[in-house]
Amino acid sequence: MHSFHTSGDPIADRRFAYAMDYKAQGDLAAAAELVEQTLDCAPRWAAGWYVLGDLREEAGERSKAIEAYRQSLAFDASDVAGAGARLARLGERPADGAMTASHVAALFDEYAPRFEHSLVGDLSYRGPALLKAALSELRQPLAFRRMLDLGCGTGLAGEALQACCAEMIGVDLSQAMLAKAGNKSLYRDLICEDALAFLESQPAASAELVLAADVFVYLGDLQALFNEVARVLEPNGLFAFTAQRHDGPEPFILNHDMRYAHSHAGMETWARTAGLTLLCRNDEWARQDRGIPVPGMVAIFAQ
Ligand SMILES: C[S@@+](CC[C@H](N)C(=O)[O-])C[C@H]1O[C@@H](n2cnc3c(N)ncnc32)[C@H](O)[C@@H]1O
């Protein structure tokens, strides 16, 4: 049986391991040839096709990369590997919905053990601190009855806001990230679900604060989510989030770093349509990439 990490055929797996050695040495052609041999033995292995696409893309062989990503998708429609997003970035699919829940869950299940060290330590992540500072400017004393943390991850936003939230509920696609959050014993409930599906299950006017810290980088069109946030918020409840910013005319793009970036205008249109009012927005970076701040925004809307 093949999975993300194994083709299910020991000989093919060995060949794949050699391919990765060649890749590590920078010999992309030899690596791609060995992955092709792997796929001769395990032709339905979606992750193998994805890696072949990645090697082809890195070598500048665009059409061969596209072909390999398409094969990956054909053998795994849930797209754990993430071929759809790569196709979208190459302009071969619409950007919206290109990043599947299975892919995001697999990404963060893998990332969870080193997430905090990497994000806070290496990437200077400060999303939760920015959100707390922006909320403090608007509300004094800072106190919320029920807070929903969309894409709570390991619970960094919960840690930042625990003192001012009577009850916190975290939702995330990654079981491994939720396990880390659970170790902190901060949240009343931790739910493994897509953020939009979770909101749809919540009663109207049942939360005083909805947070999304660095989560929209995995979502394109946010209209449905904004609509649900507006429904779930109590009157005068707050919706606070950080997002990666782009300044072009599109409401969102799938960036070269494989993250979605959103525009001010896009956010404001979705909010207006949902009946939310902008209270504050600051152009602040929440994360760095190789030492360079990634353009971002911190925004708070009210019900
Ligand atoms: C960069 S991490 C940020 C985690 C946390 N909010 C923080 O500030 O540390 C993004 C998190 O969002 C989660 N995520 C992405 N898309 C999601 C979705 N559609 N529904 C629920 N969680 C999602 C990921 O699994 C991941 O844990």
Q: Tokens standing for 43? A: 């032709």
The CA distance from 124 to 159, in Å, is: 17
pLDDT at residue 92 in the model: 96
Residue 201: DSSP 8-state: T
Q: Into how many domains does the chain fold?
A: 2
Domain with 53 in it: 10-93
The model's pLDDT over 125-163, given as tens digits with 9 standing for 90+, comes to: 999 999 999 999 999 999 999 999 999 999 999 999 999
- What burial class does residue 63 get, using C-beta atoms within 10 Å of its C-beta: 0-12 exposed, 13-18 middle, 19+ buried? exposed
Looking up residue 265, the CATH number of its domain turns out to be: 3.40.50.150
The model's pLDDT over 22-54, given as tens digits with 9 standing for 90+, comes to: 999 999 999 999 999 999 999 999 999 999 999
Considering the domain architecture, whether residues 186 and 275 belong to the same structural domain is answered as: yes
The CA distance from 146 to 62, in Å, is: 49
| Residue 109 covered by a domain | no
Stronger pLDDT, 210 or 1, i.e. the higher one: 210
CA of 96 to the centre of ligand 1 (A): 17
Q: CA separation (Å) from 123 to 48, 116, 134, 267, 293? A: 29, 10, 21, 25, 9
The model's pLDDT over 185-213, given as tens digits with 9 standing for 90+, comes to: 999 999 999 999 999 999 999 999 999 99
CA of 149 to the centre of ligand 1 (A): 9
The model's pLDDT over 92-109, given as tens digits with 9 standing for 90+, comes to: 999 999 999 999 999 999
CB 252 within 8 A of CB 221: yes
Residue 266, Cβ neighbours under 10 Å: how many? 22
CA dihedral angle for residue 300, residue 301, residue 302, residue 303, rounded to 10 degrees? -140
pLDDT at residue 113 in the model: 94
CA of 153 to the centre of ligand 1 (A): 5
Looking up residue 55, the CATH number of its domain turns out to be: 1.25.40.10
Q: Residue 1 above 50 pLDDT?
A: no
Beta bridge partners of 192: 172
The two most distant CA atoms of the chain are separated, in Å, by 64
Considering the domain architecture, whether residues 262 and 155 belong to the same structural domain is answered as: yes
**From the CB of 148, is ligand 1 less than 6 Å away?**
no
Nearest atom in ligand 1 to the alpha carbon of residue 195 is 20
Considering the domain architecture, whether residues 73 and 129 belong to the same structural domain is answered as: no
pLDDT category at 290 given cuts 50, 70, 90 is confident
**From the CB of 213, is ligand 1 less than 6 Å away?**
yes
